[in-house]
Amino acid sequence: MYKIIIQVEGVTKDGADVAVGEVITLGDHKSFLALINEGKGYAVNEAGDPVDPVLASSGAEAPGTAEDDVELTKKALDDQYKLEELKAEAKLAEVDFPYDVKKGVLIDMIMAQGKAAALLK
Provide the pLDDT for residue 50. 66
The contacts of residue 31 (CB under 8 Å, 6+ apart) are none
Distance of alpha carbon 39 from the chain centroid = 12
Q: How far apart are CA 58 and CA 18, in angstroms?
A: 26
Output phi, psi for 43, to 5 deg. Answer: -70, 140
More reliable by pLDDT, 52 or 28: 28
Three-state secondary structure call for residue 121: coil
The contacts of residue 72 (CB under 8 Å, 6+ apart) are 29
Confidence of residue 47 (pLDDT cuts 50, 70, 90): low
Kindly list the distances between the CA atom of residue 117 and the CA atoms of 1, 3, 36, 46, 89, in Å, as whole numbers in the listed order: 17, 17, 9, 22, 12
pLDDT tens per residue across span 53-109: 554 554 444 444 445 577 888 888 999 999 999 999 999 999 999 999 999 999 989
Closest CA to 31 of 68, 64, 66, 6: 6
pLDDT tens per residue across span 27-43: 877 888 888 878 888 88
Question: What does DSSP assign to residue 59?
Answer: T
In the beta sheet, which residues pair with residue 44? Answer: 50
